[in-house]
């Protein structure tokens, strides 16, 4: 039987199942009746052994010099490069590639170390590595990370992205937000000194200052601060009557902040502010307060009206006294009223003789009052 082997191919020549050698590009005649067999394979990419043992093929010098063979230990992975370009990550026990028409290279990377370096695996290829072999840690702006290797604290990580091998070691990281944080205590029910049940909405802002100490001492600073604010509010508000609390609402927040400042070192935080957002009264108390407020406003309005009336009367009295003492001023006031009347008159008819101004004055001032 005649065979044509192309330039990029080769053939495994066997006789009675025993490898005789390799045949390369050209025309070949194989006598199958004599027990010969030819298995043609491509000499590009991964080697196709055609079910022949690799050790048997490697004994052939023509085969051995044309391939690259790498054994990948259990603690390593192989980075397969073709002509300097990344191709894939190899996990198999052995890698066997042709090195004839393209240059294949397999770099072994030890995964039992700690941090994955750029020299081991370039950043652009890391996402192709099986996720079970490494841990990706992302620390954002305003955050910090506590790195633990096999349960022991290793170091504190600033903002950035980190890759650690997670094969021979257990890697974990606790990320803490160092920005200003806030929690809201809504509808906290408290009984005042005069037995009035009120509800408070409290705001508290803080930031974490010592994350490593926080991990050693506490299990969640925000929950502890939340409880501390609740207890402090109950203790302080319960000492005062409702009127006193409403009159000085800002003092409640200041007192609560002062009490939290005494425990901020223990909680590894910095308390920035505590304030009372709302004081919510029961329905019946709110109605009573609204009634009182309306009554107060009405009383204030009446006082203002009386004050204005007195001021107006006093002003008229002063004007009358001035006109009584000064006839010229009285005459000017008279002319002012005449001017106002004339502004609203469409037309004026004059009958008979006499002074026009005196006639107009007669319309306003009785004759017996005219000088």
The pLDDT value recorded for residue 363 is 55
The pLDDT value recorded for residue 4 is 93
What is the total residue count of the chain?
Answer: 371
Residue 362: band (very low, low, confident or very high) from pLDDT cuts 50, 70, 90: low
CB 211 within 8 A of CB 147: no
Residue 175 has pLDDT above 60, yes or no: yes
Domain boundaries, the chain: 2-106, 124-177, 182-281, 284-325, 326-371
* Yes or no: domain 182-281 corresponds to CATH 3.30.479.30: yes
pLDDT in tens, 33-68: 889 999 999 999 999 999 999 999 999 999 999 999
DSSP 117: P
* Percent above pLDDT 70 for the chain: 88
**This prediction's pTM:** 0.62
What is the phi/psi pair of residue 346, to 5°? -75, -45
Q: How far is CA 294 from CA 89, 283, 298, 304, 336, in A?
A: 80, 17, 6, 15, 43
CB 125 within 8 A of CB 86: yes
Integer-rounded Cα Rg, in Å, for the chain is 50
Residue 196: band (very low, low, confident or very high) from pLDDT cuts 50, 70, 90: confident
> What count of Cα atoms within 13 Å lies in the side-chain half-sphere of residue 356?
4
What is the phi/psi pair of residue 104, to 5°? -105, 140
Copy the structure tokens of residue 255.
């007192």
Averaged pLDDT, 121-129: 81
The packing angle between helices 356-364 and 327-343, to 10°, is 90
**Cα–Cα distance for residue pair 12/341, rounded to 1 Å:** 130
């Amino acid at each position: 039987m005649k065979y044509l082997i192309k330039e990029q191919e080769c053939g495994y020549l066997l006789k009675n199942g025993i490898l005789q050698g390799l045949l390369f590009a050209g025309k070949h005649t194989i006598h199958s009746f004599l027990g010969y067999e030819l298995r043609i394979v491509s000499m590009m990419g991964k080697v196709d052994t055609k079910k022949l043992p690799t050790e048997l093929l490697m004994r052939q010098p023509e085969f051995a010099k044309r391939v690259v063979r790498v054994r990948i230990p259990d603690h390593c992975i192989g980075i397969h490069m073709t002509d300097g370009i990344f191709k894939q990550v190899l996990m198999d026990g052995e890698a066997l590639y042709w090195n004839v028409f393209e240059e294949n290279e397999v770099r072994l990377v030890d995964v039992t170390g700690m941090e994955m370096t750029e020299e081991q695996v370039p950043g652009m290829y890391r996402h192709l590595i099986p996720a079970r072999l490494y841990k990706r840690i992302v620390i954002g702006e305003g955050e910090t990370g506590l790195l633990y290797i096999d349960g022991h604290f290793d170091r504190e990580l600033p903002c950035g992205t980190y890759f650690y091998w997670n094969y021979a070691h257990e890697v974990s990281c606790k990320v803490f937000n160092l920005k200003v944080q806030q929690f809201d205590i809504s509808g906290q029910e408290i009984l005042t000194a005069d037995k009035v049940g009120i509800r408070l909405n409290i705001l508290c802002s803080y930031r974490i200052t010592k994350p490593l100490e926080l991990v050693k001492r506490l299990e969640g600073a925000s929950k502890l601060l939340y409880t501390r604010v609740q207890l402090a509010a109950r203790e302080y508000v319960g000492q005062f009557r409702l009127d006193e609390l409403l009159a000085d609402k800002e003092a409640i927040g200041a007192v609560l902040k002062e009490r939290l400042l005494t425990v901020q070192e223990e909680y590894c935080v910095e308390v920035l502010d505590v304030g009372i957002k709302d004081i919510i009264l029961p329905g019946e108390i709110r109605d009573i307060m609204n009634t009182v407020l309306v009554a107060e406003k009405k009383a204030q309005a009446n006082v203002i009206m009386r004050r204005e009336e007195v001021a107006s009367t006093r002003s008229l009295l002063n004007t009358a006294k001035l006109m009584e003492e000064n006839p010229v001023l009285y005459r000017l006031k008279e002319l002012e009223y005449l001017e106002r009347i004339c502004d609203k008159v469409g037309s004026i008819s004059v009958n008979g003789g006499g002074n026009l101004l005196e006639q107009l004055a007669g319309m306003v001032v009785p004759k017996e009052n005219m000088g």
